């Protein structure tokens, strides 16, 4: 695990409620491609169900991080792509199952017109720094 420093509110910047403005650390950089709500067989999990899709997305992120020798403790940045901002509470709930409030990464949320297939409600990518 990397020693990460989280700065939730740099001087002159309004405090963040659901993320850290800055996360820094030294180590090996890990980029995780945007994850969708697909199970290990490539089947959609939770059609029309934002909560089920969010849980599967975070499970896929966990598996990808594990493959890289990382954990959610090493995540420095999450980017959420949603077809509707109304899905953000489901993503926050799924994130809370994996990342405690005192270890929140930097984050961005972007509403998009569509994802790769119309049944996907969200996609999340991650960046991590793993200690050397």
The CA-to-CA distance between both ends of the chain, in Å, stands at 8
Q: What is the pLDDT of residue 132?
A: 74
Residue 102 has φ and ψ, to the nearest 5°, of -85, 0
Q: What is the pLDDT of residue 46?
A: 97
Distance from C-alpha of 1 to C-alpha of 29, rounded to nearest angstrom: 12
Q: What is the pLDDT of residue 24?
A: 85
Q: What is the pLDDT of residue 16?
A: 83
Q: Using the Cα atoms of residue 68, residue 72, residue 74 and residue 79 in order, give the sign of their dihedral.
A: positive
Distance from C-alpha of 16 to C-alpha of 92, rounded to nearest angstrom: 14
β-strand pairing of 75-82 with 106-111: parallel
Residues of the chain with pLDDT under 70: 1-2
Q: What is the pLDDT of residue 48?
A: 97
Contact 53, 121 (CB under 8 A): yes
β-strand pairing of 22-25 with 4-7: antiparallel
Q: What pTM was estimated for this model as a whole?
A: 0.93
């Amino acid at each position: 695990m990397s020693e990460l420093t989280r700065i939730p509110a740099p001087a002159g910047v309004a405090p963040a409620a659901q993320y850290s403005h800055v996360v820094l650390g030294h180590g090996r950089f890990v980029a995780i491609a945007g994850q969708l709500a697909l199970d290990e067989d490539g089947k959609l999990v939770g059609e029309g169900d934002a909560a089920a899709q969010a849980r599967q997305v975070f499970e896929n992120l966990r598996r990808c991080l594990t493959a890289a020798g990382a954990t959610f403790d090493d995540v420095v940045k999450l980017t959420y792509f949603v077809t509707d901002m109304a899905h953000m509470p489901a993503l926050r709930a799924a994130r809370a199952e994996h990342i405690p409030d005192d270890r929140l990464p930097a984050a961005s949320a972007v509403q998009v017109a569509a994802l790769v297939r119309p049944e996907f409600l969200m996609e999340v990518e991650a960046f991590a720094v793993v200690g050397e």
